Structure 1
C-alpha cells in the first residue's frame, strides 16, 4: 500500500478518494420504509463543507467537541465529516443509551454543541446548543454552503471521541486521533481496502454509526472510493434485500445480525446474493455453526472473523505474511507494524496486549483507568486469545468473564462454542451464578434453532459428553431472542440480570 495516499499529518475529514468521479454514488441511504436516497462524492465534498462553514460561523474554539445522536442517516455521516473538516472533534453517542448515560457523556466530553434528532432534543434540558439532525429540512437550512479550506490539524489531535459501551460501570471516553485513524486507513488496504478501490465496491452495513464498526467502515469506503449502502435501522429481511438489490460486494455485520438473517429462509430462497465476495464479521465472537450458516447464505464470499477494540482500532489482524489460508474462526495474523504479546497464561494463550499506530493516547478524564490499561504504548485488551503454530490468533473469552468453579477456571466463550455445536441451538450465552459449594457455576441461556424442541436435560448431557464435567451448565434457560446492546451485540449485563436468583 502506498501510504502517501494517507499522509499522517492530514485532517481525517479530508480522507476522501481523490481519483473518484464526483458523480459516483458515495452513499445510498436505505430507510426503514425501504425508501432510498443517493448522495454522490460531489455531494459529500459540497455538503460537508457546508456543515464545516456553519459550525465555524458559531464561533466554536479550536478542537471544540460536537456531539451526534440519532439514527443512522446521510445527515449524520455528512455532519461527521463536516465536524472534522472544521477542525473539531466529533462525539458520536448511542441513541439507545439511557438518558442519564447520555447526559453523563455530554458532560464528561464537555460537548460544546450537539446534533440531535427531535426525540433527543426534546429529552435534554436545553442547556446545550442543539442543531437539527432528524429533521431533513431544518438540517438542510442550517448549512452554509460555499468554498471551505479544510482546517489543518496535528496528528495527535482527536478526530473523534468514542465512548465504550463497556461490560460494567460508566462508559469511558476514547479519544481517537487524526494520525491514528489515518495510519489505520493505510493498514486496511489488505482487509478490503484494495478490493474496494479496484472494484468501486458497494459495501453494506446496518450497524450504528455511534460505534467503531460502522463508523470506521464508512471512512474506509470513502477513502478507497467505494459506495456505502447504509441502513437507517437494522431489519434482517431488508438487510438481505438491500444486499441483493445493490449487488453489494462486501457485507459487514456483528454476529447477532447475521444470525437473524439466517432465519429469513423465504428471503434467502428468492434472493441472489452471489455478488458478495467478502463477509466481514466483527465486534463480537462468532461460532462455528454461525460461520457455516453465513457461508451458506453468501456462497461466493470469503467469511472473515474480525477483531478490534475502540482503544486499538480495527487494524490488528489480517492475512498471513506467507499467504497461508486463514483457518475458520481465526482472527488472522498480526499485521506488519503491529506488535502483540500474550500475558498471564501460557506461551500461546493469555490476555492480549497490543501496540500499533492507532492506540488511543489515554481515556478521557480517567487517569487511573489509563494507567491500568496502557503502559509504554501497550494496550491491555482484557481479551484472552490463543495462538496456533502458524501464528494465527483466536478469541477465547473476556478475561474478566472467567468462571472459577470449584477451583477450575473456565471461560464462557468456550462453553458457548460447545453448546452451539448442538443442531438445536441457534445461539447460547453463558454467565456465572453463585454456588455455595463450587463458588460459581455456569448457567446457559439458549435460543433454539427453528423447529427445535431441545430441552434442558439434552443440553446438559450434550455438554457433559463433549467437554469436561465441570464445564457443563448447571442451569439451562430457553429464550426467544438474545437481548442486544446498542451496538447489536449480545447484552451480557441483561443476561446476568436474567440469571439473578439462580443459585445452588
Structure 2
C-alpha cells in the first residue's frame, strides 16, 4: 500500500471532506494532502532521501497525520516513538536508527535542543506548537506556510521499508519492528472484508498514535475515505464526549479503557447511538466485560481482534455478522493468514486443546532492526511464534487464554489467569481484576488476585472467595487476595503484572482482615468488654451500669422533647463551624497542592499532619480562650479547616503525574486541566477530608460544651448528668453522640456518591 498515493487519490475524489478532527482542528483531505506535500518537499530540499530515517515523537494531534503522510510520500522511514518516553529512553534509539530528522512537540523543546547539539547525524529538528524562533529548531508552522505543494515525486515499491515501531519493551530492551509498505495493506483489507467499513464511517482514534494504532487508523482513512476523530486524552468522559459530538461509528481500544467507561457514573448522559461496533483488543478480553458493554449499549456490537505489532497487526478478527454469537472469541484468521495451535514440540493440536499460537502470512514483519538473533528466535521455518496461549473451537474461531509465561502451574495443574479473572469480574462489586502466580512452598505456585472494587462498594476477601468457590475448581481459587485503588499499567494500557507479584507479609494479612471487618469488630468487642466488666462486677455498677440499663435510659431520653432542643444547638455550632472550615480549607488546599513550589515549601508540614491526624484536634486543649458560641465555632473552624486543608493539598498534589501527562499530550489551559483533570481525580481525597472534618466537628463541639460554660447542647447534657450523678443518663448521652456521628458519616457517604455521579466523575 503506497500510502501517499492513496491520500492523493482521496484529495482528488473528496477534496472538501473532513479527514482529521482533533479538538478544534479540522483538516479536509485536500488540506491534509497539501500540508503533507509541503513538509515532504521541504525535507527533500534539505537533502533527505528515500531510505533515510526520521524520529517522530508526538502526542495524539492533527499534526501527527501530516507528518506521517509526508514521510510516507518521501519514502523516509518513520521511526515512531512513544511521546511519553523519557529522554534517556529516546536518545539511544536516535543513535540506533541513525535518524537524520527529529519531529517533536514544543513540550519536548529542551530535549530537542539537546539532541540537536549532541547528535551529529541529526540534520534537522522540527518543532510543533512553538511560537518563537529558536536557533537549531525549525518551526512546523513556518514550513507549512511557505511555497507551493507539489507531489514530491519519489518512486516507491511495496517492499520498501516504511515504519520502525518500537515495542513497549516489557520483557527487556525495546525492539524496532520493521514494516514495509506491503505490510500496511492488510489492516484496511481485513477491516473492509470482516466489518464492512466504508467512507460513511467515522473512526475514533483512542489509543496513542505513537504505537501501531496511529499508522493503521490513518492507512484505513486514506484507503476508504472515512473521517478520523483523534482523541488526545485517555479519559472516559473525553472519549464519550467525542463519540457523541462527532457521531463516531467505531473505535478500538484495550479492555481497561472500556472498563473505565463502564465505571463512569455519568455515562448514561452521553448519546452513543452512532456506534456500530467497538473492538476490544491488545490483551486477553474478559467475557464479563463484553457482556456488560452489550447490556449497556445493546445497539453496538462488541467484538475482538488479535495480533501484534509484529503482525501488522491483525491475525484474527470477528466478522460483523458473527459478533453476537462468537463474542468471546478473538475471531477467525484474516485473509492471507495461517494459524496453528501447537504443543511444546511444535505439533499441531486439535480444536479444543490449548497450546501456543503460531502464524504465518504476508502480514508478518520483515524483522527486528539490527536484531537478527531476535528475529530468528521469533520466526522459525516461516512461522511467527506469538508466545500467546490459545485454542480453536470446532468452527475455526480462536480463543486467546493469555501469555504462555503468565500461565500458573499450581501443584502440577495448569491455571490460565484469564479464566479466574473472568470469574472475579463477574462479581457485581468488582471493577477490575488481575491474577498472577506467586511462589508457594507447598504447590510451587499459588494464585494471587489483585482486585479493584467499584466506586462506593465495600468488598471483603471472604465474600469474594465464596463467590469464586461456587464457580471454580478448588485449585483455581486465589490463595492471596489484595485490594487496590487501581492496577499498574504499561504505556499501552495493559496491566503490568510483574508489579503485582509482590507477596504480602503475614502481619499485613491480619491487619487487612481487621480493616475489612472493622465496622463489626470494633463495636462488637467494645460491647462485649462492657458486658464482661459490668456483668462480673469488676467496676462498681453505680459508675458503670450495664448496657441494658443504659439502653433503657437512652430510649427514655429520646422520648423527651427538651433533648432535641439541646441537639439542635449542637448541630448549629457544628455545621456553622464545618461550613466555614470547608470554605477556607478546600480553596487553600487546592492552591497548595497544585503549585509545586508552594507545596515543596510546606511538604514536611503536610506529611506531619497526614501521619498524625489526631494532632488536628489540638484546638481542644485551648479551652481557656473564652466562652460562647463564637469561641466554639472558631475552634471548630480552626481544627476542621486544618484537616480539610491537609487532605485537599495531598489529593491535588497526587494528581500532578496525571496533570503532567495530560499537559504533555494535549494543548490545554491550566484552567481546563484544573477543572477537567485535577479536581475530578482529587475529589475522593478532598471528600474524605470533608468527611473526617464533619466527624471531628461533632467531637470538638461536644467536648467544648462539656467544659466551657454553657447551658445548651449535647455536651452540656453529658456534663450535667455527670455532675448530678445520673451516670446511666451520662452513658446514654455518650452513646447518643456516637450514634449521631455514625449516621452523619453514613449519610455523608451516600450524599458523596450522588455528588460524584452528578459531577460525572
Aligned pairs (5 A) from 1:112-131? 112-123=100-111, 125-126=114-115, 127=119, 128=122, 129-131=124-126
Deviations 1:317-350 (A, max 9, x none): 2356997965122111112321111111642321
The reply on whether 1:133 has 2:121 as its aligned counterpart is no
Contact 2:194 2:319 in 1 (8 A): no
Corresponding position of 1:147: 150
Corresponding position of 2:48: 60
1 CA distance for matches of 2:260 and 2:380? Answer: 40
The reply on whether 1:386 has 2:374 as its aligned counterpart is no
TM-aligned CA distance change 1:148 to 1:321, over 3 Å = closer
2 CA distance for matches of 1:179 and 1:459? Answer: 50
Pick which of 12-21 and 55-64 moved more. Answer: 12-21
Deviations 1:146-184 (A, max 9, x none): 202342222222211101114311111101110111244
- More helix as a share of residues: 2
2 CA distance for matches of 1:42 and 1:155? Answer: 24
Corresponding position of 1:251: 251
2 CA distance for matches of 1:292 and 1:136? Answer: 48
1 CA distance for matches of 2:86 and 2:474? Answer: 40
Q: Cα offset for 1:121?
A: 3.5
Corresponding position of 1:373: 378
1 CA distance for matches of 2:131 and 2:272? Answer: 32
Contact 2:167 2:177 in 1 (8 A): yes
Deviations 1:111-153 (A, max 9, x none): 2221112333413532244211343783111235420234222
Contact 1:91 1:160 in 2 (8 A): yes
2 CA distance for matches of 1:321 and 1:80? Answer: 30
SS at match of 1:316: strand
Q: Cα offset for 1:92?
A: 1.0
Contact 1:203 1:226 in 2 (8 A): yes
TM-score by length of 2: 0.61
Q: Cα offset for 1:226?
A: 0.6
- Aligned pair partner of 1:15 in 6, 31, 41: 6
1 CA distance for matches of 2:143 and 2:127? Answer: 8
Q: Which runs of 5+ in 1 are unaligned?
A: 1-9, 31-35
Contact 2:411 2:443 in 1 (8 A): yes
2 CA distance for matches of 1:14 and 1:133? Answer: 25
Q: Cα offset for 1:411?
A: 2.3
Aligned pairs (5 A) from 1:43-82? 43-82=31-70
Contact 1:385 1:395 in 2 (8 A): yes
Q: Which runs of 5+ in 2 are unaligned?
A: 133-138, 510-761
Corresponding position of 2:331: 332
Corresponding position of 1:225: 225
2 CA distance for matches of 1:311 and 1:502? Answer: 40
Contact 1:447 1:478 in 2 (8 A): yes
- Aligned pair partner of 2:87 in 81, 99, 105: 99
1 CA distance for matches of 2:20 and 2:292? Answer: 29
Contact 1:405 1:438 in 2 (8 A): yes
Q: Cα offset for 1:285?
A: 2.2
2 CA distance for matches of 1:502 and 1:395? Answer: 34
Aligned pairs (5 A) from 1:29-428? 29-30=22-23, 36-123=24-111, 125-126=114-115, 127=119, 128=122, 129-135=124-130, 138-143=139-144, 145-192=148-195, 194-197=196-199, 199=200, 201-266=201-266, 268-319=267-318, 326-344=325-343, 346-348=349-351, 349-428=354-433
1 CA distance for matches of 2:342 and 2:458? Answer: 42
Deviations 1:382-413 (A, max 9, x none): 11111111111111010111222222222222
2 CA distance for matches of 1:135 and 1:289? Answer: 46
Contact 1:403 1:442 in 2 (8 A): yes
Contact 2:252 2:280 in 1 (8 A): yes
Deviations 1:15-67 (A, max 9, x none): 3353742100001102xxxxx21110011110011111121122124311111
1 CA distance for matches of 2:320 and 2:277? Answer: 20
SS at match of 1:470: helix
TM-aligned CA distance change 1:330 to 1:133, over 3 Å = same
- More strand as a share of residues: 1
The reply on whether 1:460 has 2:465 as its aligned counterpart is yes
SS at match of 2:55: strand
Corresponding position of 2:20: 27
TM-aligned CA distance change 1:312 to 1:123, over 3 Å = same
Deviations 1:220-262 (A, max 9, x none): 1222111001012222111101111111111222211111111
2 CA distance for matches of 1:320 and 1:227? Answer: 22
Contact 1:202 1:227 in 2 (8 A): yes
SS at match of 1:42: helix
Contact 1:341 1:354 in 2 (8 A): yes
2 CA distance for matches of 1:324 and 1:478? Answer: 34
The reply on whether 1:469 has 2:474 as its aligned counterpart is yes
TM-aligned CA distance change 1:341 to 1:296, over 3 Å = same
Contact 1:433 1:502 in 2 (8 A): no
SS at match of 2:197: helix
2 CA distance for matches of 1:115 and 1:500? Answer: 44
Q: Cα offset for 1:378?
A: 1.4
Q: Cα offset for 1:502?
A: 6.1
1 CA distance for matches of 2:291 and 2:104? Answer: 40
Corresponding position of 2:447: 442
Contact 1:167 1:493 in 2 (8 A): no
Contact 1:288 1:417 in 2 (8 A): yes
Aligned length: 484
SS at match of 1:307: strand
TM-aligned CA distance change 1:132 to 1:232, over 3 Å = same
2 CA distance for matches of 1:367 and 1:205? Answer: 33
Pair member with larger Rg: 2
Q: Cα offset for 1:101?
A: 2.3
